[in-house]
């Protein structure tokens, strides 16, 4: 495939194109904004009260490891470590997105940019893609003849399924991420000209990051005070 970071939200846009329910549209808009902010390293903007609950919980189930992050501080630390090592870059293909009153569900072939030396870091859970286990990622590297000491970047490719629950005001409560077929995961070594930095992604995606509409007006049909 041709990797284009500006196409990573195409699956959301396809669902938005035929979604008319205001609540469902608001959730999809919030979901898209979250994705773009995460990839841009603008993670602090994710935790504003109109987008995320006060105590979110993230659960990752990848390559035999189940990991749970609780609270803004733990999740922000994960985003920060990814941003600092250029691992917030995601691509997607064959994405299917479904939305309901209180959740978004997706199924996609996901690609995450991974920095080889991060595998050797002591704070493994803060660096590895989807918080996978260090021994299993080392096995995957060795299978392809790669070495984590190499100052190289890779794309970690896997089938990914997610459910993101939202509260009654369409604020993100949790991320639940599964890799149903971890044995089929792949690593693709990137050439230097294929590697993106978080700063480059932030610049590329900035025109796509749109503010959320007012929840009361958009979903509930209430006019703003004084309008």
H/E run at residue 139: helix 134-143
Dist CA 227 CA 219 (whole Å): 17
What mean pLDDT, rounded, does the chain reach?
A: 86
Does 170 have pLDDT greater than 90?
Answer: yes
Q: What is the pLDDT of residue 153?
A: 86
- Across the strands, what pairs with 109? 93, 159
Token duo for residue 41: 């390293």
- Which burial class, exposed, middle or buried, applies to 172 when counting CB atoms under 10 A from its CB (0-12, 13-18, 19+)? buried
Q: Find out whether 136 and 65 touch, Cβ atoms under 8 Å.
A: yes
Does 126 have pLDDT greater than 60?
Answer: no
Q: Average pLDDT of 44-53?
A: 97
User: In the chain, what are the domains?
Assistant: 5-218 (3.10.450.50)
Does 222 have pLDDT greater than 90?
Answer: no
Does 99 have pLDDT greater than 50?
Answer: yes
- Block residue for tokens 């100052």: 151
Higher pLDDT, 149 or 94: 94
Q: 11: helix, coil or strand?
A: helix
Q: What is the DSSP string of 38-75?
A: HHTT-GGGGGSTTTEEEEEEEEEEETTEEEEEEHHHHH
Dist CA 125 CA 117 (whole Å): 14
Higher pLDDT, 222 or 121: 222
Provide the terminal-to-terminal Cα distance of the chain, rounded to the nearest Å.
Answer: 49
Q: What is the pLDDT of residue 116?
A: 72
Q: What is the pLDDT of residue 175?
A: 95
Closest CA to 3 of 196, 202, 199: 196
Q: What is the pLDDT of residue 224?
A: 60
Token duo for residue 151: 């100052």
Dist CA 90 CA 75 (whole Å): 17
Question: How do 52-62 and 172-178 pair as beta strands?
Answer: parallel
- Tens digit of each residue's pLDDT (9 = 90 or more) over 179-206: 888 778 888 889 889 999 999 999 999 9
Closest CA to 26 of 161, 167, 176: 167
Higher pLDDT, 55 or 136: 55
Q: 29: helix, coil or strand?
A: helix
Q: What is the pLDDT of residue 114?
A: 84
């Amino acid at each position: 495939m041709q990797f284009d970071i500006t196409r990573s939200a195409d699956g959301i846009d396809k669902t938005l194109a035929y979604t008319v329910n205001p609540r469902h549209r608001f959730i999809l808009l919030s979901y898209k904004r979250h994705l773009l902010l995460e990839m841009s390293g603008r993670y602090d903007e994710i935790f504003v009260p109109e987008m995320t609950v006060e105590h979110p919980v993230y659960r990752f189930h990848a390559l035999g490891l189940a990991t749970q992050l609780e609270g803004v501080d733990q999740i922000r630390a994960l985003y920060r470590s990814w941003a600092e090592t250029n691992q917030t870059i995601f691509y997607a293909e064959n994405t299917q997105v479904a939305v309901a009153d209180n959740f978004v569900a997706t199924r996609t072939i996901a690609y995450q940019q991974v920095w080889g030396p991060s595998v050797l870091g002591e704070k493994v859970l803060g660096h590895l893609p989807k918080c996978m286990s260090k021994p299993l990622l080392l096995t995957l590297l060795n299978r392809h003849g790669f070495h984590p000491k190499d100052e190289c970047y890779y794309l970690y490719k896997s089938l990914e399924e997610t459910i993101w629950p939202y509260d009654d005001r369409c604020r993100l409560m949790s991320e639940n991420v599964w890799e149903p077929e971890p044995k089929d995961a792949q690593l693709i070594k990137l050439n230097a000209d294929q590697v993106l930095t978080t700063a480059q992604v932030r610049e590329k995606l900035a025109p796509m990051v749109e503010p959320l509409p007012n929840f009361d007006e958009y979903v509930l049909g209430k006019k703003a005070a004084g309008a």
